Chains A and B, each alone.
Chain A
Amino acid sequence: MRAAAAIVAEADGRGGTRLAVLRGESPLLVRRTGPHAVHLVGGAAGPLRGDDLRLSVEVGPGARLSVHSVAAQLALPGRPGSPASRLVVTASVAAGGALRWSPEPLIAAAGCHHLAVTDVTVEEGGSLLWRDDLVCGRHAEEPGDVRADVTIRYAGSTLHRHELAVGPGAPAWSGAAVLGGGGAVGTLVLAGPSLPSPATLGGDAVLMPLAGPGMLATAVGRDIRAVRAALDPVGAYAPV
Chain B
Amino acid sequence: MSLATLLVLADGRLPAGGHAHSGGLETAVSSGRVRTVADVGRFLCGRLFTAGLVAAAFAAAACARPDRWAELDDGLDARTPSPALRKASRAQGRALLRAARAMWPLPAAGREPHHPVALGVVAAAARLDPAAAAVAAAHGSVTGPASAAVRLLGLDPYAVHALLAGLAPDCDRIAADAAARIDDPVDALPAAGAPLLDIGAELHATWEVRLFAS
Binding stretch for chain B, among A42-50, A72-80, A178-186 = A178-186
CB distance from A155 to the nearest CB of B (A): 13
> Does A175 lie within 8 Å of B77, measured CB to CB?
no
State how many residues of chain A have any CB contact under 8 Å with chain B: 40
Mark each residue of chain B from 18 to 55: 1 if its CB lies under 8 Å from any CB of chain A, else 0: 00000010001001011000010011111111110000
Mark each residue of chain A from 123 to 166: 1 if its CB lies under 8 Å from any CB of chain B, else 0: 00000000000000000000000000101000001111111110
B197 proximity list for chain A (CB < 8 A): 177-178
Mark each residue of chain B from 159 to 197: 1 if its CB lies under 8 Å from any CB of chain A, else 0: 000000000001000000000000000110011111111
The CA of A220 and the CA of B186, in the complex, are separated in Å by 28
The CA of A220 and the CA of B194, in the complex, are separated in Å by 11
B187 partner, pick from A158, A178, A210, beta carbons under 8 A: A158
Interface size of B as a range: 35 or more
User: Given known contacts A160-B78, A163-B192, is B198 in contact with A171 (CB within 8 Å)?
Assistant: no
Q: Is A216 an interface residue (CB 8 A)?
A: yes
B199 proximity list for chain A (CB < 8 A): 204-206, 218-220
A159 proximity list for chain B (CB < 8 A): 78
B194 partner, pick from A177, A208, A219, beta carbons under 8 A: A177
Chain A contact surface mostly: strand
List CB contacts (< 8 Å) of A158-207 with chain B: 158-165, 170-182, 185, 187, 198, 200, 204-206
Q: Is A83 an interface residue (CB 8 A)?
A: no
Closest 3 A/B residue pairs (Cβ): A175-B42, A177-B46, A172-B46
